[in-house]
């Protein structure tokens, strides 16, 4: 889709668990979340952003750290933004996901993921502009990397059509 005002093309990107994405061009980043959490960062001065998607709160074992863990995914997203010229004081965050459905688990991993995100962002003095977390429903989130605008759709059961662009999840 093209913007008539600046002729930039918008790309679509589906963010999978354990991935971090800071696009070079205007991109709509989509993510589907249950107990997993996604943090978006947006630089208010440079007008660009990125997003991560993690499944677990923390890992401390060296050599086993991956972006599937919140402490790694958030630190890496911050570092990627800084490498593109951002300063922590110009960043604002949004946190999504962290649902808990007792039908699927007795452990509330979603709350732990959410707590980890808030803890790390506070320690880095990054302002949290908004949150949509908790509850029992999953979410489909679409983040505009050039404006920080978001759309959230609450979902009770994951359908193939929730993945955009369509991905066969079988």
Residue 164 lies in a domain: no
Residue 23 tokens read as 């696009």
Residue 165 lies in a domain: no
Residue 136 lies in a domain: yes
Tell me which residue range forms the domain holding 121: 11-156
In order along its 170 residues, the chain shows pLDDT tens digits of 444 444 455 789 999 999 999 999 999 999 999 999 999 999 999 999 999 999 999 998 887 889 999 999 999 999 999 999 999 999 999 999 999 988 878 899 999 999 999 999 999 999 999 999 999 999 999 999 999 999 999 987 666 655 555 444 44
Please give the Cα distance from 144 to 60 (Å, whole number): 32
Residue 161 lies in a domain: no
Residue whose token pair is 């979340």: 33
Residue 46 tokens read as 């440079």
pLDDT at residue 165, as a whole number: 52
Q: Based on the structure, what is the number of domains in the chain?
A: 1
Residue 131 lies in a domain: yes
Residue 142 lies in a domain: yes
Overall pTM surpassing 0.85 (yes/no): yes
Q: What is the CATH number for 101? A: 3.30.1330.200
Instruction: Please compute, for residue 52, the number of CA atoms within 13 A of its CA located in the half-sphere on the CB side.
Output: 29
Task: Give the count of beta carbons closer than 10 Å to the beta carbon of residue 128.
Answer: 14
Residue 166 lies in a domain: no
Residue 2 lies in a domain: no
Task: Give the count of beta carbons closer than 10 Å to the beta carbon of residue 73.
Answer: 30
Strands 27-33 and 138-144: antiparallel
Reduced to 3 states (helix: H, G, I; strand: E, B; else coil), residue 151 is strand
Burial of 27 (0-12, 13-18, 19+ CB in 10 A): buried
What distances in angstroms separate CA 28 from CA 6, 91, 142, 151, one per listed residue?
16, 19, 6, 10
pLDDT at residue 103, as a whole number: 82
């Amino acid at each position: 889709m093209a913007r008539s005002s600046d002729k930039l093309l918008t790309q679509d990107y589906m963010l999978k668990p354990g991935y971090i994405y800071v696009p070079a061009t205007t991109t709509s980043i989509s993510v589907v979340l249950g107990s997993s959490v996604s943090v978006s960062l947006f630089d208010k001065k440079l007008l660009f952003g990125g997003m991560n998607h993690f499944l677990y709160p923390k890992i401390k074992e060296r050599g086993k750290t991956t972006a599937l863990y919140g402490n790694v995914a958030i630190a890496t997203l911050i570092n990627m933004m800084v490498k593109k010229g951002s300063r922590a004081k110009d960043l604002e965050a949004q946190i999504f996901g962290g649902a808990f459905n007792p039908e699927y688990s007795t452990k509330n991993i979603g709350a732990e993921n959410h707590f980890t995100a808030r803890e790390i962002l506070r320690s880095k003095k990054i302002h949290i502009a908004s949150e949509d977390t908790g509850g029992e429903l999953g979410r489909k989130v679409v983040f505009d990397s050039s404006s920080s605008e978001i759309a959230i759709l609450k979902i009770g059961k994951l359908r193939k059509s929730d993945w955009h662009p369509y991905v066969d999840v079988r």
